[in-house]
Amino acid sequence: MCEQNKAKEVEYQQKAMEHDISDMPEVGFQPVEFLKKAFNDMKESAKAQHEVDKANFAAVKAESKAQWEEAKAMGNPATRKAVLQAQRDKQIEEANRRKAEAEARISKTQGK
Distances (CA, A) of 65 to 52, 70, 72: 20, 9, 10
* Per-residue model confidence as pLDDT tens digits over 36-89: 888 999 999 999 999 999 999 999 999 999 999 988 888 888 888 998 999 999
pLDDT at 15: 66
As a whole-number percent, the residues of the chain with pLDDT over 70 amount to 81
Residue 88 lies in a domain: yes
Could you tell me if residue 25 is inside a domain? no
**pLDDT score for 22:** 55
Q: What's the whole-model pTM score?
A: 0.47
Domain holding 55, by residue range, is 32-73
Ranges of H-type helices in 1-112: 2-18, 31-73, 77-110
76: which DSSP letter? Answer: S
| Together in a domain, 88 and 106 | yes
Residue 80 in contact with residue 74, Cβ under 8 Å? yes
- Same structural domain, 100 and 69: no
Assigned domain for 12 exists = no
**Max Cα distance, the chain (Å):** 100
d(CA 12, CA 5): 11
How does the average pLDDT of the chain come out, rounded? Answer: 85
Buried b (16+ CB within 10 A) or exposed e, 70-80: eeeeeeeeeee
Residue 11 has pLDDT above 90, yes or no: no
Tell me, yes or no, whether 82 and 99 share the same domain: yes
pLDDT above 80 (res 92): yes
Q: Domains in the chain: how many in total?
A: 2
Does residue 100 surpass a pLDDT of 90? yes
Region for residue 7 given its phi and psi (left: phi exceeds 0; alpha: psi -120 to 50; beta: otherwise): alpha
Whether 93 is covered by a domain: the verdict is yes
- pLDDT at residue 30 is higher than 80: no
Residues 87 and 60 in one domain: no
Q: Domain for residue 8, yes or no?
A: no
Q: Do 36 and 54 fall into the same domain?
A: yes
